[in-house]
Structures are given as structure tokens and as C-alpha cells.
Amino acid sequence: MKTRVISGLIMVPLLLVIYFGGIWLWIAALLISVIGLQEFCNGFEALGVHPAKRLSQALACGLFGALVPEVISGPWDIGKVSLILMFWTFVAVAAAMMYGWKITERGTYDAVATVTALVYIPFFAAHIVLLDLTPFRILTWVIVLAAFGSDIFAYFTGYFLGKHKMSPNLSPKKTVEGAIGGLIGSTAACAIFGLLFLKDHVALCAVLGLVGGAAGMAGDLTASMFKRKMGIKDYGTLIPGHGGIMDRFDSVLFAAPVIYYITVFYSMIQA
């Protein structure tokens, strides 16, 4: 536990990235994508599957590069942003499939793993930047509160009250009691955030805390699923006590898109 706490404190300065937003948040999300792809593809290689690692990283840079004009100049244009996402998704998936054309050197799983890596990591991570472009950019804080909050509250609730295993095959230490505590904690944390900074949208913050917290848990279990099949304990050793980038941000990758789309729908209703 001591190592986890120390490592968590080391990551506190990253909150400054969210505070400043803009190009700094863009850089952070890009680094998560590039390093995360490296770790994820390395995990597949342990299975004898070889995704297009460098191609995936190049495509990730292409996605974030396409968002630079929006990040620097703005304002938020949902039509333009959606077009960028759709076009990039087509190019990325098509490129990943074509990577498998060399059937004498590569297997079908190599192409499938490449598609999975591209959608799972840079596409999901880009939504952190996209939320920062919306009129509700302050809700980028809710991504952290929902994802990390559910994890922290679930850990301590499970530690003291946990009895019933939630998913023993994926994560033996996670309990039903811990999950409930995590959801209550993330909802409460986001509701308090709303009371302090978005008094007219407290209900929205609470909903985002609940749904984002649940998405974060799903992301954590998904990462565990991959690690179990890959036969690895952690994706990397970059962060002491937490493993690699993917070990720390697996919940964020799932929470960010959910929070972004709910926020977009909400802003459209409010308009």
C-alpha cells in the first residue's frame, strides 16, 4: 500500500496539465497514446502476436496532429471534430487491415490486434482532448475524479469491507462491496466538484461521476483481461507501484469517451 500511495503522490503534478489544458493536455494525451501503444503491443508480442507497433504510433500522431488547429485556435466545432474522428477511424482500421496482407509473414491476429490497439488507446485517449475543447472544458477534471476516484474508493472499501469476489478470474482482489463503494465515492466526489465549480450543473456532475466511475471500472477489468491472456502482471515498469502507462490510465481511457459524449449531448440539449 505504501508504494501505491507514494506513486500516487508522484502523479499529483499531472493535475497541473489538466489545469492548464490546451496544448499541455494535448501533449499528455499524445504521450499516453504513444507509450500506451508500445506497452500494449509488447504484451501481444508475448503471445506471439505482432501488431504494427510503429504504424500504430504514427497513426496516433496523425490523429492528434489533426486536432492541433482546434486545440490552438478553437472554438469548438463539433461537426469538424466528428469528421476528423470518423476519417481517422477509417484510415486507421483500413491501414491495420492492409498490414495483414503479407500473409506469408504475418497472421490474421496481427491485423486484428493492430485494430484493437488503435481504437482502444489513441482513439479513446483523444476524447480527453476533445472534452477540453467543449464549452464544458472544466469537466476534464471529472474524468480524473470519476476514474481515479472510483479506483481509490473501491480499493479502500474492498480492503475494509470486501467479502464477495466480483470477477475472480480477471482481478481476484476486486469485490462487489469495493465496486459499490467506488461508485458511491466517484459520484459523491463529482457531485461535490459540481457544488464547488458548476452549481448549475450539479446533477450532470453526479451522473458523470456514476457513469464515468462505472466506465473506469470496466476499463480496469478490460486491461486485466488482456494482461491475463498475455501472461503479464503489468504492462510496464514506468511508474513504481503502478506498472506502466496502461496500468495507470486504463480506467481513464474508458471514462473519457463516456464523459465526453454525455457532455456533448447535454450541451446540445442546453443550446
Q: What is the pTM of this model?
A: 0.94
Residue 111 in this model has a pLDDT that exceeds 80: yes
Q: pLDDT tens, 179-227?
A: 999 999 999 999 999 999 999 999 999 999 999 999 999 999 999 999 9
pLDDT classification of 153: cutoffs 50, 70, 90: very high
- Supply the DSSP symbol for 105: T
Strand partners, 167: 171
pLDDT of amino acid 8:
54
pLDDT classification of 9: cutoffs 50, 70, 90: low
**How far is it, in rounded angstroms, from Cα 194 to Cα 152?**
20
Q: Are 161 and 176 in contact (CB under 8 A)?
A: no
Grid cell digits, residue 21: 489544458
Strand partners, 171: 167
pLDDT of amino acid 130:
97
Q: Is the dihedral of CA 151, 154, 160, 162 positive or negative?
A: negative
Strand partners, 243: 239
Q: Is 51 left (phi over 0), alpha (psi -120 to 50) or beta?
A: beta
Looking at the chain, which runs of residues are DSSP E strands?
A: 165-167, 171-175
In the chain, pLDDT over 70 holds for what percent of residues? 94
